Amino acid sequence: MASPLRFICGFRTISASRQLHLYPRSRRSFIAAAAAATGGLGLNHVFGESQDLSALSLRQASELLHSKGISPVDLTKACLKRIENYNSSLNAFITVTGDQALETARQMEAEQTQGKWRGPLHGIPIALKDNIDTAGVRTTAASGLFKDRVPLEDAEVVGKLKQAGAVFLGKLNLHEFAYGGTSDTSYFGPVHNPWALDRISGGSSGGSAVATAADLCFASLGTDTGGSIRIPSSYCGVVGFKPTYGRVSLRGVIPLSWSLDHAGPICRTVEDVAIVLTAIAGYDEFDPATVNVPVPDYTRDLNRSTASLRLGIPRTPFFKRLDPEVGNAVQAAIEVLRKLTRSVIDIKLPPIPPFLPISATEAYAYHAKWIVESPEKYQPFTRDRIIAVAAGTTASGYAEALRKTNLARRDIHESIFRRGSAHHAHYASHSGDLGPEQGLRQARRVSRSDGHSQHLSFRSLRPAIHYGSMWLLDYGSTDRPPDQRSLLRGVNSSGVSTLL
């Protein structure tokens, strides 16, 4: 057998053959290069070859659980061990609920012994971004303001995951109140990129991406308003998915912007994302943004042919400020998808309305009371941003931005969906990447919004329209709203798993 490849931070040692199975080519080549030049950036400890259960994909772990080859307690202990070994360097977790996790794991093991199987998340250890409420466990939003805040009720997504049998390992670090793209502004300290500890993880769901990339959990939940799932997923080389607005309930999630927030999964494979999305999606009568429509099994179509899909590329404005290395990665992804789809076409998008008046106004509305009463409990950058950005926004500007956003959603539907149902595959924050190598190049600098993109999401079952570098266009009927299955199917078939 070939010599095992090692992560740059020493997170795991896996045989070369297995590495080829689990990850796209860009990640494998990056790992191979990094193994020869770690240069002291990472951690020293590695587990034995293929011995660490936490290196399994969620699907692989679930199948072993179902066949009783391993137990939920085995998986939970493996993750808790990794957290113990590595979290002090990564700072991905704010709160670790080890005892509760083991108690739940034993319960899931007992249920399985009794013949009860809740589904593919039964006994799977996962973790939650710390702006998602958990009853009896503090939810801080990475802020000193909420450092002792303990909710009385679970967020809706937490309740759904509990029903699915998931085991909660704890709460994950983030950019304070999800108001930034680096995750280096936190009351609990900055999150570190698992591929190079001196670089940012991206944000705001930095802890979620890092914990997933470093095998501290099998999946995590993040939130996304202007890229906060997609940016850290790109920087850390994992799969992040921003669902359609209204597809996943936001009840019990500390808001940044009520009109633009989303909750979604971060996993190591597209299939794992589909599993988690199936569990958390659905109507919530107490969340007026959710849509009362059936939830499909998003894994069911992953292996269907992608030959009928068209690939649409909105080159303007996304290719104007492209780093050459990132541009090459995007083009490589296009060539992979070109071979798997019916055709490649350029798409011209309607003008993009500004979203800052919406997010700034709604963020200030949520924080106004505490900004006045306890400004010292915020990190200075967050406090100053909440005040300064909102100060430049008027009531008429907010109303006009909402109107223009709704018009833009309509225009996109008319100009693109009517010509063939569109499914969007988003590259990172504003440009793109195929894996950690390009992600780390972006992580060297603070992410800045190009003002073009992150916020247009349909209030329906149409896929999330928060412009990115590529769209997948389905030749299906234009009389029905497209769902997200074609997107997941296309990206899963490509093997380029950090596109979303």
Active site residues per annotation? 129, 204, 228
Give 200-261 as a DSSP string: B--SSSHHHHHHHHTTSSS-EEEEESSSTTHHHHHHHTSEE--PPTTTB--TTB--S-TTT-
Asked if residues 266 and 238 have their Cβ atoms less than 8 Å apart, the reply is: yes
Task: Measure the CA–CA gap between 309 and 382, rounded to whole angstroms.
Answer: 42
- The residues with which 200 forms a beta bridge, in sequence order, are 192
User: What is the Cα 78 distance to its own chain's centre?
Assistant: 23
142: left (phi over 0), alpha (psi -120 to 50) or beta: left
Task: Measure the CA–CA gap between 412 and 242, rounded to whole angstroms.
Answer: 18
Rounded (5°) CA angle 342-348-353:
135
Contacts of 188 (CB under 8 A, 6+ apart): 91, 94, 140, 142, 173
Distances (CA, A) of 313 to 132, 351, 481: 34, 16, 21
Task: Measure the CA–CA gap between 190 and 207, rounded to whole angstroms.
Answer: 9
Side-chain half-sphere exposure of 474, counting CA atoms within 13 A: 24
Task: Measure the CA–CA gap between 462 and 465, rounded to whole angstroms.
Answer: 8
Task: Measure the CA–CA gap between 276 and 334, rounded to whole angstroms.
Answer: 27
Identify residue 401 by its one-letter amino acid code.
Answer: A
Distances (CA, A) of 58 to 87, 210, 212, 340, 436: 21, 16, 11, 25, 20
- The residues with which 470 forms a beta bridge, in sequence order, are 425
Distances (CA, A) of 170 to 20, 158, 274: 31, 12, 22
Task: Measure the CA–CA gap between 218 and 273, rounded to whole angstroms.
Answer: 10
